[in-house]
Amino acid sequence: MFLDSFNQQQLRARISSNDLSFRVDEVKKLVKKSFFPSPDSEQTTEEEYNFEVYSHFKAYNDILIEQNVVFPPFYAEFERGIGKRIVESILPTQPLSTSLKQITDQLDDAFQAVERIGAFFVVNGFIRSWERSVPSEDDIEDFTQPYIAPAGDNFSVTPDLQFTIALEGDVTLKSQLLLQELGCRLYPSFAIWGLQRGLLACFSSSDQINKQGSVSVNIDDYYMDTSYNSNPDLFEVRQILLNVVLQLN
């Protein structure tokens, strides 16, 4: 996916799969001792995966910097492609209904999609567990039945719906932290990318949306220490908290 996204943005400096493999191998040689100090120690599957992910994403970032890639359009294409692949492996492809669904039904579909995506990541060992917060009935009503200002009224409300998803035991957590400490803008956010695409797909054929606008999905990640230690020196990231905002535009 990186090659497709990169080559679409950099037509004058295309990279082959062999070039990319070489760059990844070079990173592995440099950082392997940091991940596995003792050559005799036995690594777990999770540790090996985290090492592979870090090596790939470090190489990706190095290439992006060297080639002066404009990051926003590259990232949009990269996120879309990765998310699409994740969703296609989890959610069945269904033909569009001849009668468009109401936004309340689409919201139910969205919550079900979150459940299935979360279960997929747990079953396949990407995370240990996850938990979604439940929006109140009032918040859901405000989102699904928003106030629509009449013509000429300067007062308007942009309805949104927020909820959180707590991820425990993400196997790429160390890679995420290391890459961000190095100032890298691209780091492994597979849960975000899958949820972004999955949620957007659920609102693609809402009758209410077609009449009033569209739904955007924004997801921010926060690194949490669930021990809630008051001493900042003892802070240790144990959980990734995703804040999801659905906004009717």
Percent of the chain with pLDDT over 90: 62
State phi, psi for 76 to the nearest 5 degrees: -60, -45
Q: Is a pLDDT exceeding 50 seen at residue 212?
A: no
Return mean pLDDT, the chain. Answer: 86
Whether residue 207 contacts residue 102, with contact meaning beta carbons closer than 8 Å, is answered with yes
Mean pLDDT of 75-84: 94
pLDDT digits (tens, 9 = 90+) for 20-43: 999 999 999 999 999 998 877 788
- Where residue 199 falls among pLDDT bands split at 50, 70, 90? very high
Residue 73 domain boundaries: 2-248
- pTM of structure: 0.86
Local confidence band at 95 (pLDDT 50, 70, 90 cut-offs): very low
Q: Is 93 helix (H, G, I), strand (E, B) or coil?
A: coil
**Band of residue 168 on the pLDDT scale cut at 50, 70, 90:** very high
The two structure tokens encoding residue 73: 């359009």
The domain total for the chain is 1
Beta pairing, strands 129-132 & 215-224: unpaired
Q: What is the pLDDT of residues 39-76, one digit of tens each?
A: 777 889 999 999 999 999 999 999 999 999 999 999 99
